Chain A
Amino acid sequence: MLKINNLHVKLEEEDKQILKGVDLEVPAGKVHAIMGPNGSGKSTLSYVLSGRDGYEVTKGDATLDGEELLDMEPEERAAAGLFLAFQYPVEIPGVGNMTFLRTAVNAQRKARGEAEMSAADFLKFIRAKAKDLKIDADMLKRPVNVGFSGGEKKRNEILQMAMLEPKMCILDETDSGLDVDAMKLVSEGVNALRDEGRSFLVITHYQRLLDHIKPDVVHIMAAGRIIKSGGPELALEVEHNGYADILAEIDA
């Protein structure tokens, strides 16, 4: 599904290399997790894959289902099936959540040459998805993320994911700012979307999210590279011993 090959990225504004040769492959239907200390480049990876401005790819590439991702505009990546659940979802005053979602769903359909969804069908669709995530009608009417609590914002991200039905979902520290109940709700939302045709890349600091969203593979990222990969037990190891042991092991 997602293949990242020797990806090197620096900040456009300053001559600072953030990613220094990331290699990663997430097969269809699998959940991979990336853990790593602050500043290791985890969030940069998610932004570069989704097409945010301000980064320059100096070497390497990334493909989604064989299509070269890095040449596409952000909206083309989305239409191709990539979805990034933001660490800090953006507030957009004046744009209703429902309008936003309908515009997004129909824009993606149009880009894929599919018919737009009728207003009635859309309403039915969104109500069913919102109910699962305990998102009430009021939250759908309000402007995008404005006045939402941390938990509400993250649930809104998952709602968008459920509505857009992407192939490749990247979750950037979706657990940050969530209490236990909210984390459970968000995880259930993600788990409901797990499917053999859909892959996930879960970026997190903490093992506890991975108790809820069970990964197939865990990668440890440090200093702009994947330094170790393993099964779910790797996350537990980090939880008990921190990153120091792994980093020392690599340096040795």
Chain B
Amino acid sequence: MSTAVKAQAALISADARPASGAWAADARADAASRLAAMGLPTRRDEYWKWTRPDSLISAEPASADVFDNQGETLVFHDIDRLKLVFVDGVFDADASDALDGEGLEIERLSMAATKDIHWAKDLYGVLETAGQTPVQRPLAVYNSAMATDGVVIRVTKTPTRPVSLIYRHEDPVSDVILHHVIRVEEGASLTLLENGAAAARFNQVTEVDVAKGAQFHHVRAQGRDHDRQAVTHIFARVDAESVFKSFTMTVNGKLTRNECVIDIIGDEAVAHIAGAALGDGAESEFHHDDTVFITHDAVACESRQVFKKVLKNGAKGVFQGKILVKPDAQKTDGYQKSQSLLLDDDASFQAKPELEIYADDVICSHGSTTGAIDEEALFYLRSRGVPTPIATDLLVLAFLADAIEEIEDEDIAAEITGRLDAWLTRRRG
């Protein structure tokens, strides 16, 4: 029996799923039966053409050594934030701040799930289910069925500080499934920060409902543990005049698949998603996949995708991005940019940009490029006395700049740039 089949067999058994109250039990049973019908991804699936799902669905995760931070402060250290800490997926109350804040209702999913009635019922697995058409995302369904914990956040105002989810990884063979549900109510605003590897293998789903005129800002720094694997899904529903912005920084990591599915359902909404990935295959494998699906189903909305990857020593990058503009989504402004900078001949980048447009009054464009360091610029810098490695890194940071510019908060953007700079500097020795 293959591991995939075993995994599926375990899933349809209710015993395998976390204990739940009525609403959560229903949602999980529904997910399990959907998964049984759908099956796990295979190498033959078109959507998994460039990223092999095998190690994400094997019965046990491959071991991943815990990254030694060498006394370095953690990402976002200097940002005032409400910290929630998970250690290998287990909530650490002592290391976390109290679960409250102005305009915030925060609960752990494991608590919310035991109740018989909860507002999260209208979102948990619901946005995920909506995101299964037209493309199936079985690992997210698997998550909805099996997630052991996560956070459930309702935002009614604009909290004074960001909510920060910190995922510590201590057990070299941990296999963690977390699921977050976030609702930003009308006119409210939330900044969500995430950092850390979480586990040897991490499956994360975040469902975000951004109500009319609300704002959701998300900045994520994925874990630097070299052998960690992660599959993440963001399912967002973006209503009228609201703003959704998500940025992800990825350095290191053997396998990362970040899917983002955004449904724009209200007029004049804005959705931006960006990523900066730096991969050096010298120390361990690096495979990074950004898969994005944005649906415009309202008038005069703007979407932006800005994905940048810098790859060397056999590092691999994948981008699958689609903009779907429904017939009534007139005045859509959709833009998609995915670029990779290959620092040597061993690195590779695969891209599949897609536009599917049924409205006639739209501006949509995409640009996908793969290139090397600009030799002219490099010589110019060197002629001013900047040694080649430093000049190269300056050009790398410059290449990543327009993805980082998608982060609205200047302090957070500076923090991300600083981390990227530090990563590059360490590699120069």
A contact residues vs B (CB 8 Å cutoff): 50-53, 73-75, 77-79, 83-84, 86, 89-95, 99-100, 103-104, 107-108, 111, 143-144, 160, 164
- Complex CA gap A205/B126 in Å reads 72
Closest Cβ of chain B to A44, distance in Å, is 15
Residues in A whose Cβ lies below 8 Å from that of B391: 75
What's the dominant secondary structure at chain B's contact region? helix
Nearest B residue to A79, CB-CB: B385
Count A/B pairs, Cβ under 8 Å.
81
Instruction: Check A75/B388 contact, CB under 8 A, given A51-B383, A90-B377.
Output: yes
Whether B398 and A75, one on each chain, are in contact in the complex, defined by CB atoms closer than 8 angstroms, is no
Q: Which of A103, A160, A164 contacts B394 (CB 8 A)?
A: A103
CB of B171 closer than 8 Å to a CB of A: no
Nearest A residue to B401, CB-CB: A94
- Complex CA gap A50/B382 in Å reads 10
Q: Which of A73, A90, A93, A164 contacts B380 (CB 8 A)?
A: A90
* A-B pairs with beta carbons under 8 Å apart, 11 shown: A74-B379, A74-B382, A75-B383, A78-B382, A83-B383, A86-B383, A92-B381, A95-B397, A103-B386, A144-B380, A160-B384
Residues in B whose Cβ lies below 8 Å from that of A50: 383
Q: Which of B375, B388, B394, B402 contacts A95 (CB 8 A)?
A: B394
Q: 1/0 per position for B50-69, CB-CB distance to A under 8 A?
A: 00000000000000000000
Closest Cβ of chain A to B341, distance in Å, is 11
Say which size band chain B's interface belongs to. Answer: 20 to 34
Whether B380 and A86, one on each chain, are in contact in the complex, defined by CB atoms closer than 8 angstroms, is yes
Among A52, A83, A111, A160, max chain B CB count under 10 A is at A52
Residues in A whose Cβ lies below 8 Å from that of B398: 92-95, 143
CB of B376 closer than 8 Å to a CB of A: yes
- Complex CA gap A33/B322 in Å reads 58
Instruction: Check A73/B395 contact, CB under 8 A, given A90-B377, A92-B380.
Output: no
Residues in B whose Cβ lies below 8 Å from that of A99: 394
- Complex CA gap A53/B385 in Å reads 16
Closest Cβ of chain B to A141, distance in Å, is 13
- Complex CA gap A160/B380 in Å reads 12
A-facing residues in B380-429 (Cβ within 8 Å): 380-388, 390-391, 394-395, 397-402
